[in-house]
Amino acid sequence: MKIEKFLIWIQKKMLNYPDISFKTVKIFIDKFQDCLSNVQKERFSLQIQIIKEFSLQQISLDSFVHNEKIKILDMELNKLKNDDTQK
């Protein structure tokens, strides 16, 4: 029962705290899963899989957003450079 409560707690944290590091959660849940017995792994496999999938989706989304921000900053920097050379 403690494991189930713990996994639910992690899920709630992931949903309610946008500043959580999903990479850290993914690494942690992988290591946590390694510590479980085979019976526990089977019993909690769905919850663990949900946490892993959600983490991976968020990591992908974060990477996409980060890349888009970099593109925008590069465009702004190029505009500034062009403005300076035209003066």
Q: Which pLDDT tens digit goes with each residue over 11-46?
A: 888 888 766 788 888 888 888 898 899 999 999 999
Q: Full-prediction pTM beyond 0.75?
A: no
pLDDT the model gives residue 75: 87
pLDDT the model gives residue 87: 60
**Amino acid letter, residue 1:** M
pLDDT the model gives residue 40: 92
What confidence tier does 74 reach under pLDDT thresholds 50, 70, 90? confident
- DSSP letter assigned to residue 37: -
Of residues 64, 60, 35, 59, the one with CA closest to residue 48? 35
Mean pLDDT of the chain: 85
List C-alpha distances in Å: 9 to 17, 34, 87.
12, 19, 58
